[in-house]
């Protein structure tokens, strides 16, 4: 197989730890991450959530295996318990200091507010 790379030699695009041959949205994804993604997609069938700030119906958005609830009026971004830790684990640069993680997180949230 010289000169070609099969999906089985690719790391999961979400967790970056497991090698996989599964593909979702054109990206390699391991079985646990694929199951989580499917569970999160099913959660979209949940009733609408009101914004805790102004009561508007929040819009669910998907980011790296996490459903982020965003208010279209106040532009607040809300996470359920444990979701921030998932985002930091999946997206934060490895080996960074606490201050670098704080700067990274601030940039992530600013991007989520403007980009979602």
On whether both 40 and 55 belong to a single domain, the answer is no
CB distance 36 to 15 below 8 Å? no
On whether both 113 and 103 belong to a single domain, the answer is yes
On whether both 37 and 83 belong to a single domain, the answer is no
On whether both 76 and 55 belong to a single domain, the answer is yes
On whether both 41 and 69 belong to a single domain, the answer is no
On whether both 38 and 53 belong to a single domain, the answer is no
Asked whether the predicted pLDDT for residue 73 surpasses 90, the reply is yes
On whether both 115 and 58 belong to a single domain, the answer is yes
On whether both 40 and 57 belong to a single domain, the answer is no
pLDDT for res 50:
95
Range of the domain at 2: 1-45
CB distance 69 to 55 below 8 Å? no
pLDDT tens digits along 75-113: 998 988 888 888 777 776 665 555 666 676 677 666 655
On whether both 30 and 55 belong to a single domain, the answer is no
On whether both 82 and 98 belong to a single domain, the answer is yes
Domain count, the chain: 2
pLDDT tens digits along 33-59: 887 777 667 666 778 889 999 999 998
pTM: 0.48
- Residue 57's region, left for phi above 0, alpha for psi from -120 to 50, else beta, is beta
On whether both 56 and 108 belong to a single domain, the answer is yes
Residue 60: strand pairing partners = 69
On whether both 79 and 38 belong to a single domain, the answer is no
Distance CA 57, CA 4 (A): 48
């Amino acid at each position: 197989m010289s000169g070609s790379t099969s999906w089985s030699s690719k790391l999961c695009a979400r967790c970056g730890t497991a090698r996989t041959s599964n593909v979702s949205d054109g990206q390699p994804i391991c079985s646990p991450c694929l199951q989580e993604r499917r569970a999160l997609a099913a959660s979209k069938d949940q009733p609408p959530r009101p914004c805790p700030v102004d009561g508007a119906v929040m819009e669910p958005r998907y980011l790296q295996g996490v459903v982020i609830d965003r208010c279209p009026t106040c532009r607040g971004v809300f996470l359920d318990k444990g979701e921030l830790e998932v985002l930091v684990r999946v997206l934060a640069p490895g080996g960074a200091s606490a201050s670098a993680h704080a700067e990274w997180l601030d940039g992530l949230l600013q991007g989520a507010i403007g980009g979602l």
